[in-house]
Amino acid sequence: MNIVVLDGYCLNPGDLDWEGFRTLGNLTVYDRTPAAQIVERQGDAEAMLTNKCIISREVLDALPGLKYIGELATGYNNIDYVYASAKGITVTNIPAYSTESVVQHVFALLFEIVNKTSMHAASVRQGDWVRSRDFCYYEKISELSGKTIGIIGYGRIGRRVAEIAEAFGLNVVAYNKGKSGAAGVKGKLVSSLEELYRVSDIVSLNCPLNAENAGMINKAAIDKMKPGVILINTARGGLINESDLAEALWEGRVAAAGLDVLGKEPPLSDNPLLAAPRTVITPHIAWATTEARRRLMKIAEENLRAYLAGAPINKIN
């Protein structure tokens, strides 16, 4: 079998290896593939591995030899998997590989906001502590204990966020569409987003993006939140109306935002959140710890191996 990796760099910038796939066939790895070169590079190879390349109906029609697409991520909205299924192409994804890494990043963003660690550390490096008249100095910092975190999306990641939040003394409420009741030792599932917005000091987005919730964090939603709420998003940038959030940050209705994802990635230079105050933005790295990427690589290999053995796993179509 001929195997082509179209965009392997973000998964493996050089610290991992592709050797497991070389045992399964003839492997060609491209760091990045422009849309115009997808068909040419895939050629008549039977297996494709990709993360963000758009595999449209037109691309699929141009690749009659394609039998297998391995999505190198959990989300697969870049692939027309329904049409792939109609053409007899198996599509797999990578479930549950990054839970611990994403949850860790939720709290990395949150701690940066409430403790301002990097700002204080930069100040020390600039000599401010050496010149200080006092033994310490600080911008406003605050405790998490006793505050309420509202978690939107209560799957694997949301539940793990709740567990860690409780360990820091946070009260937990969560919203999972169509569900209510117990959510944990201290937390509860609320029946509406309005209730979650009303009681939460911190709102963490941990839900998938779909047609129903695109742009859900908009002016109307923010107006229902506590004044001075903190917003954390490690899910998908499309959940947020970025202009509305930027406006709320400038006006002080939102105290701070910690964002690992934006609506367009890489962002355009005029994205309003890039200049908004009290905003911590990281370049979509919550998933990318070495351990999580190693798990992803192993699962992707196992997916292809199972397909070749005639018993596909982690199929999405």
The residues that are catalytic are 236, 265, 284
Structure tokens at 42: 């895939």
Sheet of strand 68-71, all strands in order from the earlier edge strand to the far edge: 26-29, 2-5, 47-50, 68-71, 90-92
The dihedral formed by the CA atoms of 49, 52, 58 and 60, expressed in degrees to the nearest 10: 20
Q: Residue 14 contacts by C-beta under 8 Å, 6 or more apart in sequence?
A: none
Residue 274 tokens read as 């890039």
Q: Which residues contact 94 (CB under 8 A, 6 or more apart)?
A: 71, 72, 73, 74, 296, 299, 300, 303, 314
What are the start-end ranges of the H helices in the chain? 19-22, 38-42, 57-61, 81-86, 99-115, 117-125, 156-167, 193-199, 219-224, 242-251, 290-308
Spatial contact of 153 and 235, defined as CB atoms under 8 Å apart: yes
Backbone torsion region of residue 163, taken as left when φ is above 0, otherwise alpha when ψ lies between -120 and 50, otherwise beta: alpha
CA-based nearest residue to 254, from 232, 274, 286: 232
Cβ-contact 27, 69 below 8 angstroms: no
Who's near 27: CB < 8 A, 6+ residues apart?
A: 3, 4, 5, 18, 21
CA distance 80 to 259: 28
Token pair for residue 98?
Answer: 């990054």
